[in-house]
Chains A and B, each alone.
Chain A
Amino acid sequence: MIISVASGKGGTGKTTVATSMALSVKKITPLTFLDCDVEEPNAHIFLNPVISETERVKTVIPEVDEKKCTHCGKCSELCAFNALAVLDTITLVFGELCHACGSCWYFCPENAITQKEKEIGIIEMGRVRDINFIHGKLNIGEAMSPPLIKAVKDKISPQETVIIDAPPGTSCPVISSVKDTDFCVLVTEPTAFGLNDLMLSVGMLREMNIPCGVIINRAGIGDDRVINYCKAEHIPVLMEIPLHKKIASLYARGIPVVDGMPEYIEQFQSVYHTIERVIRS
């Protein structure tokens, strides 16, 4: 069973929920935790895993052999991502724009293009408190996170119980993260911004056919618009976490909520059981 934790925008408490849920659920089932927010991974700050293995993740970009290249321009004409520019005497490769689709080296009439490996980030794996921990870190300046997210997700098998901390938004990085998950927990806050972003996320999950539920964080700061929306759309509200200075201060210091406030363990376990029931039904 794979559960993803997402939110339309950042800062709603995704990592707070994902880490505390993991620490609560590991008492019920063996667990793997994935931080797929490879642009700004944060879960390790709260879980402090001991990293035992590091893997470099590479993608390929074209490399042009100028001795063979006739500057015919075919490659740049074919490239949908503008990653190649052919000038009179040289062919330029813009590696950060390349999606590694393979067109250029496949079609080059002179066989002048080969594949060159390029590191886009790293995966770190380890263990903490009986949890398998895996996260990815995108290299700074690298635009394309989905291949790294995919490499992180390739580390799991579908039989495992997995909790995935997803990146914010509703585009490629989130899609790559929540894809093939059995259930998605959407963390939001009861504000105008929270509702706007929640609606976008729900739209995304419906298109992808992934069941979802909502956890409302900082309950009490806003109004009922989020609750009313969930009711109208028949989306279960799995839990409400009140706005609490202690929670904010635990977060600031990098302490998981359930470590500072163990009374939440049971609540997160019951969220997990609810999700189990939804998936099995």
Chain B
Amino acid sequence: MRELLVISGKGGTGKTSIVGSFAALANSTVLVDCDVDAANLHLLLNPKIKEKHEFYGLKKAEINEQKCISCGLCEELCHFGAVKNGSINQYLCEGCGFCFHACPENAIMLKDNVSGEWFISDTCYGPMVHAKLGIAEDNSGKLVAEIRKKARNIAQDENINLIITDGPPGIGCPVISALSGIDLALIVTEPTLSGIHDLKRVVELTRHFGVETAVCINKYDLDEDNTNTIENYCQEEDIMIVGKIIFDPAMTRAMMKGRPVIESPELAISKQINIMYNKLYSKLIS
């Protein structure tokens, strides 16, 4: 089983649109949307939800006022400033349990906290695992780990040898969680100064975790100088550029219709995505 992860440093570079098209190109694949904060892949693949599960984040502390003697120890000990005037701010509580263990009166309880949902769905291109983290909830890394594990189980059970994952933006907790055990990371970038800046940081990240990396320059015709800079950078760093995709409003139009752009295979942009997919696939299985 091989796993391809598509990431981007920052959002909005076209990651999800490309993953949607990959889904249509793959013969058989399990799809994962790891952008649990602001999942978008479902807007392209119209999944039919088969299973819905609750995701439990860390438990949250709560004070039992009947038992509390207002000694103030919990407020003093909490490193997150979550305890104020005898009550616990649920947004600030990280669920570490320090106050629970320390309270001399056993006046603090840890309560289960449903912090999101995850789904197993059918799409016309294969099974998909996706999630929705509750608003203002943490533990996105754990949720990412959970849905990735589920995807691997499905791939095993259904004898599917490829998993394509739409990654979260950034270089923090959810991305780090998405990178573990990945065979190949495709970084989608655009030819802007901020795009180049973000690309370099995310390349450092994949290096840090020893993940093989390839780059796709989306909208490469927007600014040729910047595209050259990216190409030179990748050459110096020995990173393969697997695809260059033109700027084409058809990509946005397809997204508005809720379909991957590749469903219009005659477009130049679709041909470019197709070539890129084939390169990635042969790299993955080699």
Query: A residues engaging B (CB < 8 A)?
Result: 8-12, 15, 37, 39-40, 42, 45-46, 78, 80-81, 96, 99-103, 106-107, 138, 140-145, 167-173, 175, 179, 191-193, 196-197, 200, 203-204, 207-208, 221-223, 248-249, 251-254
Does B176 sit at the interface, judged by CB under 8 A? yes
How distant is the Cα of A258 from the Cα of B205 in the complex, in angstroms? 33
Name B58's closest neighbour in chain A (CB-CB): A80
Asked whether A140 lies within 8 Å of B11 as measured between CB atoms, the reply is: no
Using known A-B contacts A40-B9, A193-B43, determine if residue A208 contacts B91 with beta carbons closer than 8 Å: yes
- When distances are taken between beta carbons in the complex, the residues of chain B under 8 Å from A143 are 141, 172-173, 176
In angstroms, how far is the closest chain B Cβ from the Cβ of A173? 7
How distant is the Cα of A167 from the Cα of B168 in the complex, in angstroms? 12
Q: Can you add 16 more A-B contacts, CB < 8 Å, to A10-B169, A171-B37, A192-B258?
A: A39-B170, A40-B201, A80-B96, A100-B79, A101-B79, A106-B102, A141-B205, A142-B172, A169-B38, A169-B170, A172-B138, A175-B91, A191-B252, A193-B255, A253-B226, A254-B192
| Partner-binding segment picked from B62-70, B119-127, B129-137 | B129-137
In angstroms, how far is the closest chain B Cβ from the Cβ of A280? 26
In angstroms, how far is the closest chain A Cβ from the Cβ of B75? 13
Question: Which residue from B59, B169, B171 sits with its C-beta under 8 Å from A138?
Answer: B171
Asked whether B11 lies within 8 Å of A141 as measured between CB atoms, the reply is: no
Asked whether B10 lies within 8 Å of A10 as measured between CB atoms, the reply is: yes
Question: Which residue from B12, B59, B170 sits with its C-beta under 8 Å from A12?
Answer: B12
Q: List 10 A-B residue pairs with CB atoms under 8 Å apart, sorted by A's residue number.
A: A40-B201, A45-B194, A101-B94, A140-B205, A145-B172, A171-B140, A172-B138, A251-B192, A253-B192, A253-B226
- When distances are taken between beta carbons in the complex, the residues of chain A under 8 Å from B71 are none
- When distances are taken between beta carbons in the complex, the residues of chain A under 8 Å from B94 are 80, 99, 101
Does B97 sit at the interface, judged by CB under 8 A? yes
How distant is the Cα of A51 from the Cα of B270 in the complex, in angstroms? 44
Name A250's closest neighbour in chain B (CB-CB): B192
Asked whether B12 lies within 8 Å of A252 as measured between CB atoms, the reply is: no
Query: B residues engaging A (CB < 8 A)?
Result: 8-13, 16, 35, 37-38, 40, 43, 58-59, 77, 79-80, 91, 94-98, 101-102, 133, 135-138, 140-141, 168-173, 176, 191-194, 197-198, 201-202, 204-205, 208-209, 222-223, 226, 249, 252, 255-256, 258
Asked whether B193 lies within 8 Å of A175 as measured between CB atoms, the reply is: no
- When distances are taken between beta carbons in the complex, the residues of chain B under 8 Å from A222 are 252, 256
Name B209's closest neighbour in chain A (CB-CB): A141
- When distances are taken between beta carbons in the complex, the residues of chain B under 8 Å from A208 are 91, 136
How distant is the Cα of A251 from the Cα of B196 in the complex, in angstroms? 12
Asked whether A40 lies within 8 Å of B10 as measured between CB atoms, the reply is: yes
In angstroms, how far is the closest chain B Cβ from the Cβ of A193? 5
Interface SS majority for chain B = loop
Asked whether B172 lies within 8 Å of A144 as measured between CB atoms, the reply is: yes
Using known A-B contacts A106-B102, A252-B192, determine if residue A40 contacts B13 with beta carbons closer than 8 Å: no
- When distances are taken between beta carbons in the complex, the residues of chain A under 8 Å from B16 are 193
Asked whether A203 lies within 8 Å of B135 as measured between CB atoms, the reply is: yes
Question: Which residue from B11, B138, B192 sits with its C-beta under 8 Å from A171?
Answer: B138
Asked whether A39 lies within 8 Å of B256 as measured between CB atoms, the reply is: no
Question: Which residue from A39, A168, A170 sits with its C-beta under 8 Å from B171?
Answer: A39
Asked whether A254 lies within 8 Å of B193 as measured between CB atoms, the reply is: yes
Using known A-B contacts A11-B12, A143-B176, determine if residue A99 contacts B136 with beta carbons closer than 8 Å: no
Candidate in A78, A168, A175 with the most chain B CB atoms within 10 angstroms: A168
Asked whether A102 lies within 8 Å of B171 as measured between CB atoms, the reply is: no
Asked whether A140 lies within 8 Å of B171 as measured between CB atoms, the reply is: yes
Asked whether B96 lies within 8 Å of A81 as measured between CB atoms, the reply is: yes
In angstroms, how far is the closest chain A Cβ from the Cβ of B43? 5
Asked whether B40 lies within 8 Å of A193 as measured between CB atoms, the reply is: yes
Asked whether A170 lies within 8 Å of B38 as measured between CB atoms, the reply is: yes
Name B97's closest neighbour in chain A (CB-CB): A80
Asked whether A42 lies within 8 Å of B198 as measured between CB atoms, the reply is: yes
In angstroms, how far is the closest chain B Cβ from the Cβ of A203? 5
Asked whether B197 lies within 8 Å of A40 as measured between CB atoms, the reply is: yes
- When distances are taken between beta carbons in the complex, the residues of chain B under 8 Å from A138 are 171-172
Asked whether A252 lies within 8 Å of B193 as measured between CB atoms, the reply is: yes
Asked whether A253 lies within 8 Å of B173 as measured between CB atoms, the reply is: no
Asked whether A10 lies within 8 Å of B11 as measured between CB atoms, the reply is: yes
Question: Which residue from B77, B138, B252 sits with its C-beta under 8 Å from A102?
Answer: B77
Using known A-B contacts A45-B193, A80-B96, A140-B204, determine if residue A171 contacts B136 with beta carbons closer than 8 Å: yes
- When distances are taken between beta carbons in the complex, the residues of chain A under 8 Å from B102 are 106-107
- When distances are taken between beta carbons in the complex, the residues of chain B under 8 Å from A223 are 256
How distant is the Cα of A101 from the Cα of B77 in the complex, in angstroms? 9
How distant is the Cα of A215 from the Cα of B95 in the complex, in angstroms? 35
Asked whether A168 lies within 8 Å of B135 as measured between CB atoms, the reply is: no
Question: Which residue from B12, B201, B204 sits with its C-beta under 8 Å from A10?
Answer: B12
Using known A-B contacts A40-B171, A200-B135, determine if residue A102 contacts B194 with beta carbons closer than 8 Å: no
How distant is the Cα of A37 from the Cα of B97 in the complex, in angstroms? 29
Asked whether A101 lies within 8 Å of B96 as measured between CB atoms, the reply is: yes
In angstroms, how far is the closest chain B Cβ from the Cβ of A167? 7
How distant is the Cα of A40 from the Cα of B9 in the complex, in angstroms? 7
Asked whether A197 lies within 8 Å of B38 as measured between CB atoms, the reply is: yes
Using known A-B contacts A42-B198, A100-B79, A168-B170, determine if residue A191 contacts B138 with beta carbons closer than 8 Å: no
